[in-house]
A = this chain, B = another copy of it.
Amino acid sequence: MPLTQSGYDPVTVRRILDAATADGRSSLTAPEGRQVVEAYGIATPGEGLATTAGEAVALAETIGLPVVLKIVSPDILHKTEAGGVLVGLTTAAEVAAGFDTVIANARAHRADARIVGVQVQQQLTTGHEVIVGTVTDETFGKVVAFGLGGVLVEVLKDVTFRLAPTETATALSMIDGIASAEILRGVRGAEPASREALADLIVRLSHLVTDFPELVEVDLNPVLATSTGATAVDVRILVDPAASEDPFRYTDEEILASMNRIMRPESIAVIGASAETGKIGNSVMRNLVNGGYQGEIYPINPKATEILDRKAFKSISDVPGPVDVAVFAIPAKFVPQALAEVGAKGAAGAILIPSGFGETGNHELQAEVVAIAREHGVRILGPNIYGYYYTPESLSATFCTPYDVKGGVALSSQSGGIGMAILGFSRSARMGVSAIVGVGNKADIDEDDLLTFFESDPNTQLIAMHLEDLKDGRSFAQTAKRVSVTKPVLVLKAGRTDQGAKAASSHTGALAGNDKVYDDILRESGVIRAPGLNDLLEYARGIPLLPTPQGENVVIITGAGGSGVLLSDACVDNQLTLMEIPPDLDEAFRTFIPPFGAAGNPVDITGGEPPSTYRNTIALGLSDPRIHSLILGYWHTIVTPPMVFAELVVDVVEEFRRKGIHKPVVASLAGDVEVEEASEHLYGHGIVAYPYTTEKPVAVLGAKYRWARSAGLLGDGTTDGR
């Protein structure tokens, strides 16, 4: 089957939808549904509408027996419950009798039902039963779903989602991505399903709902897939003519113009600046000054003339020069008035620290503020936030404490508490940071705006975000897909277990548990999802330090066999490939290790070996171009104490870096407390190392690999990072 999406017939679809809308219906009849999907080239079983038993028999003989009979009535949505479906009719006599039965059942179910007739449908008897459907997700909009059919999909929820429209490669990834994918490839000699035909059907359905947003839910359930084609046996479509509105979006140019002024302001006004210790307006002033910000700082306070040696102004209108950013440290109720003045002044950003908006139920005030901001073209950060940091400008526009360890990691959080955890972890780990941004209620600026800015920001190499929801998931996914090709995007999605609360009016709708949709679409967008807060922080810290691997071949070199086993477990858990060591390389490793040591992978150099054994095997691992990453397992001994190990590893890794060979090296250190200092020494030199855990270093390497694969940077494994 050729994968062309030709032959779309939108005119027919429009005609049917207009008719349904004119009737005020929220669903299509089965024949209408069939016509709609057929108009986009999706095959359905041979069928026809019979209004008499004689017509039913004639149709059945044309289509070919066996057939299915189904009542057609705009007033009967659940046909099976109404006794309106008969299957497996194999003779003309059965069809004739069946026609009468279906009509009688429908009348009994609902006496006043308008009965259009009985659908006579070819009964397909072979093929894999799958479900293809679409829903209109409140976060992502049109989403297409694929899974195995039958009770399996309901019980195991083995289903996968993508943004619609989708193209062939993505559709194929859906078919291959469900847990039971192997069944479709034909198990125990069963006929395989045609992946191409299924992908084509998915693509066509996804285009259909994209072209007609009023198709709010579509179930093709079941679709029967054979080795030559895929047929939608049952079509169920819900419509809503109102479901077409796209959210308001700024253009990327507009976003960048504002965000550049906000993150690198030449002047900042503090609305509600205070000289009184303990006040937020005082903390913000002090952090700006003590943090080392070099631009103009204008305290705004109607009752002060000077705050922290800076001339104060009664209103922002009185400030002589231009203002890029206004930080608000006043109660919520005073914000609208002040924001109007800030807007009139031409500021790019309003940093709304105060709470008392949507998060306390005061949605009206929040809407008022957003309207004022949009009127003046001011972007709002917050409200209900701790503020933000941008270290390249030594900017700490926050009531927390300044942060000054400059580096390539940009972080954001929806929650203030998580923001404080980010700050504390960063300081404790001395993590180099470009920005920490609180987005709070996200009344305006959201993760999408931040991604767009950080993408263009030469000071940022990685973006890590804590979020509880996305205002416009579709826009975020599209931006992330672009940004993640050059900079890793990490997401901790909180509330991921908040599933199943949706009212489900279709099978696909019932399966579209919030988190699974997030999970699939974020992955498809190249986002690396962190399972927990600490993982987000450790990934953010470690990933930028590791060079991008050039291929999948990972080698473990360990002094402790026991660590080797656990590190191997961790590799499997993190989808890392333990290289199959070719004989010549095995031989080469063996020259360095004791005869009872084990080459292969892990390379077990055995305990009690001197530093030279670690050095020689690591050097071999770095020099052989077939090896792409190293995981080291250290065992504390008198012969090679922790700091000796750490120094030799740094030494040999730096020696190869000088030769232009950059490979990721991570380490797990098992030993007495001295391994803590040794781990820090290693980490400080770009080797991601942890004491007392075999899991964490491998998890960070695994996250790096997930990103490198998704961004298409792994290469073909033939180069070695030179």
Q: List residues of A whose CB falls within 8 A of some B CB.
A: 151-152, 154-156, 179-180, 182-183, 187-188, 190, 278, 356, 359-361, 400-401, 413-418, 420-421, 423-425, 427-428, 466, 468, 492, 494-497, 531-535, 537, 558-563, 565-566, 568-570, 572-573, 596, 607, 633, 635-636, 638, 670-676, 691-696
Question: In the complex the two chains form, what is the Cα distance from A190 to B278 in whole Å?
Answer: 67
In the complex, which residue of chain B has the Cβ closest to the Cβ of A414?
B562
Most B CB atoms within 10 A — which of A492, A672, A676, A693? A672
Find out whether the CB atom of B532 lies under 8 angstroms from the CB atom of A417: no
Find out whether the CB atom of A532 lies under 8 angstroms from the CB atom of B361: no
Least Cβ–Cβ distance between A694 and chain B, in angstroms:
5
Most B CB atoms within 10 A — which of A414, A421, A537? A421
Least Cβ–Cβ distance between A223 and chain B, in angstroms:
18
Q: List residues of chain B with CB within 8 A of the CB of A187.
A: 151, 154-155
Find out whether the CB atom of B694 lies under 8 angstroms from the CB atom of A532: yes
- Of B416, B558, B560, which contacts A562 at CB under 8 A? B416
- Of B278, B569, B670, which contacts A420 at CB under 8 A? B670
Question: In the complex the two chains form, what is the Cα distance from A423 to B637 in whole Å?
Answer: 13
Q: List residues of chain B with CB within 8 A of the CB of A413.
A: 562
Question: In the complex the two chains form, what is the Cα distance from A468 to B561 in whole Å?
Answer: 11
In the complex with contacts A359-B596, A414-B562, A672-B420 CB distance below 8 A: yes
Find out whether the CB atom of A596 lies under 8 angstroms from the CB atom of B562: no
Question: In the complex the two chains form, what is the Cα distance from A532 to B561 in whole Å?
Answer: 16
Q: List residues of chain B with CB within 8 A of the CB of A424.
A: 636, 670-676, 691-692
Question: In the complex the two chains form, what is the Cα distance from A77 to B693 in whole Å?
Answer: 49
Least Cβ–Cβ distance between A511 and chain B, in angstroms:
14
Find out whether the CB atom of A427 lies under 8 angstroms from the CB atom of B155: no
In the complex with contacts A151-B188, A421-B671, A672-B400, A596-B361 CB distance below 8 A: yes
Most B CB atoms within 10 A — which of A152, A155, A570, A572? A155
Question: In the complex the two chains form, what is the Cα distance from A428 to B677 in whole Å?
Answer: 12
Q: List residues of chain B with CB within 8 A of the CB of A420.
A: 560, 635-636, 670-672
Question: In the complex the two chains form, what is the Cα distance from A572 to B515 in whole Å?
Answer: 13
Most B CB atoms within 10 A — which of A562, A694, A695? A562
Find out whether the CB atom of B360 lies under 8 angstroms from the CB atom of A596: yes
Find out whether the CB atom of B155 lies under 8 angstroms from the CB atom of A692: no
In the complex, which residue of chain B has the Cβ closest to the Cβ of A558?
B417
In the complex, which residue of chain B has the Cβ closest to the Cβ of A698?
B532
A selection of 16 A-B contacts at a CB cut-off of 8 Å is A152-B180, A152-B183, A155-B183, A356-B596, A415-B560, A417-B563, A418-B566, A424-B670, A424-B672, A424-B676, A427-B672, A428-B673, A494-B562, A494-B566, A495-B565, A533-B693
In the complex, which residue of chain B has the Cβ closest to the Cβ of A597?
B360
Most B CB atoms within 10 A — which of A179, A566, A572? A566
In the complex with contacts A360-B596, A416-B607, A417-B561, A695-B155 CB distance below 8 A: no
Most B CB atoms within 10 A — which of A360, A468, A561? A561
In the complex, which residue of chain B has the Cβ closest to the Cβ of A676?
B428
Most B CB atoms within 10 A — which of A416, A427, A570, A673? A416
Question: In the complex the two chains form, what is the Cα distance from A633 to B415 in whole Å?
Answer: 13
Least Cβ–Cβ distance between A598 and chain B, in angstroms:
10
- Of B466, B559, B563, which contacts A418 at CB under 8 A? B563
Q: List residues of chain B with CB within 8 A of the CB of A670.
A: 417-418, 420-421, 424
Q: List residues of chain B with CB within 8 A of the CB of A401.
A: 672
Question: In the complex the two chains form, what is the Cα distance from A635 to B419 in whole Å?
Answer: 10
Q: List residues of chain B with CB within 8 A of the CB of A531.
A: 695
Question: In the complex the two chains form, what is the Cα distance from A673 to B421 in whole Å?
Answer: 9
Question: In the complex the two chains form, what is the Cα distance from A183 to B439 in whole Å?
Answer: 44
Question: In the complex the two chains form, what is the Cα distance from A497 to B696 in whole Å?
Answer: 17
